[in-house]
């Protein structure tokens, strides 16, 4: 069964500090992986996408890494801000095949940045 | 473009009542999804559609029905609401190019449903 596991479930950090969120997946065959940010009361919004051939991709203070061999991804947030408080969701896609859910969602990591 | 629009935004139902949630997208996306999100559970897929006239079950389909009569609309129905269906419902859409599924799902703003 295709699964996406995220850790930690929740995280509290001080404003200005860095943090790293983890995503492990069993989705196969793998197409791409995306990190989403979900603010409270809102729908998730895409932060970055990683394809099979990419190892690192940055979007401002967010840097995502991917190791397709070990099926692991991480999202690193640098110099955190209060506005980074949100849930971060890892989503993996397999090549569309019969019987498979097209997108597999992790349960997310709830990040709280405090002053 | 409005993106993905869900109606209504809030609703309170009595147990046993029925209702339909409407999702509309103006991006000409092939795929549409309905998710529910409960505290500590993350997003769980209820039903999805890969094109007009087609639907498929997701992870938690029981108690829900869906229809995709038009490409831009995806309806989620609750025939007999139960308190266990109290949740926040999100609709999303995504597109498909070549032989690779694009993971960028565009989400609506959510519908908060309470069943009493």
3-class SS letters over chain B: CCCEEEECCEEEECCCCCEEEEEEECCCCCEEEEEEEECCCEEEEEEEEEECCEEEECCCCCCCEEECCCCCEEEEEECCCCHHHCEEEEEEEECEECCEECCCCEECCCEEEEEC
Residue percentage of chain B with pLDDT more than 70: 92
Which one has a higher pLDDT value, A38 or A98?
A38
**CB–CB of A32 and B100 under 8 A?**
yes
Interior angle at CA A26, CA B60 and CA A5, nearest 5: 65
**pLDDT (average), residues B60-82:** 96
- Do the chains contact at B102 and A93, CB–CB below 8 Å? yes
Is residue B35's pLDDT more than 50?
yes
- Work out the minimum CA distance from B43 to partner chain A, whole angstroms: 6
Cα–Cα dist B44/A82, whole Å = 28
What's the rounded Cα separation, in Å, for the pair A82 and B21? 34
CA pair distance A104, B71, nearest whole angstrom: 22
Torsions phi, psi for B83 (to 5 deg): -55, -30
Q: Which of B5-14, B87-96, B97-106 has the highest mean pLDDT?
A: B5-14
The dihedral through the CA atoms of B25, B28, B33, B37 has a sign that is: negative
| Nearest Cα residue in chain B from A110 | B40
Higher pLDDT, B100 or A72: A72
Q: Which residue has the tokens 């051939």?
A: A53
> What's the pLDDT score for residue B5?
96
In B, minimum Cα distance to A44 occurs at B107
Reply yes or no on whether the pLDDT at A76 is more than 50: yes
Q: What is the mean pLDDT of residues B33-56?
A: 90
pLDDT of residue A88: 97
CA distance B32 to B42: 18
Region A100-108: what's the mean pLDDT?
77
Higher pLDDT, residue A59 or A30: A59
| pLDDT the model gives residue A98 | 43
What tokens appear for A31 in the block?
Answer: 């197409």
Q: Is the dihedral of CA A2, B88, B94, A5 positive or negative?
A: negative
Task: Give the model's confidence band at B50: pLDDT under 50 very low, under 70 low, under 90 confident, else very high.
Answer: confident
The predicted model gives B30-52 an average pLDDT of 90
Distance of alpha carbon B14 from alpha carbon B64, whole angstroms: 16
> In this model, does residue A39 exceed pLDDT 50?
yes
Split at pLDDT 50, 70, 90, the class of A97 is: very low
pLDDT at B101: 52
> How does residue A99 score in pLDDT terms, banded at 50, 70 and 90?
very low
Minimal CA separation from B2 to chain A, in Å: 14
Cβ contact B42–A89 (<8 Å): yes
The reported pLDDT for the residue numbered B40 is: 76
Tokens of B92: 């999303």
How many residues in total does chain A contain?
115
């Amino acid at each position: 069964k295709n699964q996406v596991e995220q850790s930690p479930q929740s995280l509290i950090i001080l404003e200005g500090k860095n943090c790293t969120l983890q995503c492990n997946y069993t989705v196969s065959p793998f197409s791409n992986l995306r990190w989403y940010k979900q603010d409270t009361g809102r729908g998730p919004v895409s932060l970055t996408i990683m394809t099979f051939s990419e190892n690192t991709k940055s979007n401002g203070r967010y840097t995502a890494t991917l190791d397709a061999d070990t099926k692991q991804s991480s999202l690193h947030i640098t110099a955190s801000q209060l506005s980074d408080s949100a849930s971060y969701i890892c989503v993996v896609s397999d090549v569309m095949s019969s019987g498979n859910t097209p997108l597999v969602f992790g349960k997310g990591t709830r990040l709280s940045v405090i002053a | 473009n409005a993106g993905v629009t869900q109606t209504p935004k809030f609703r309170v139902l009595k147990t046993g009542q029925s209702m339909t949630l409407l999702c509309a997208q103006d991006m000409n996306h092939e795929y549409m999804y309905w998710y529910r999100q409960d505290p500590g559970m993350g997003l769980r897929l209820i039903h999805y559609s890969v094109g007009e006239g087609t639907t498929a079950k997701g992870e938690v389909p029981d108690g829900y029905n869906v229809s995709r009569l038009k490409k831009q609309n995806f309806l989620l129905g609750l025939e007999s609401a139960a308190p266990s269906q109290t949740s926040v419902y999100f609709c999303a859409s995504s597109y498909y190019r070549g032989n690779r599924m694009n993971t960028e799902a565009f989400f609506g703003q959510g519908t908060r449903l309470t069943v009493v």
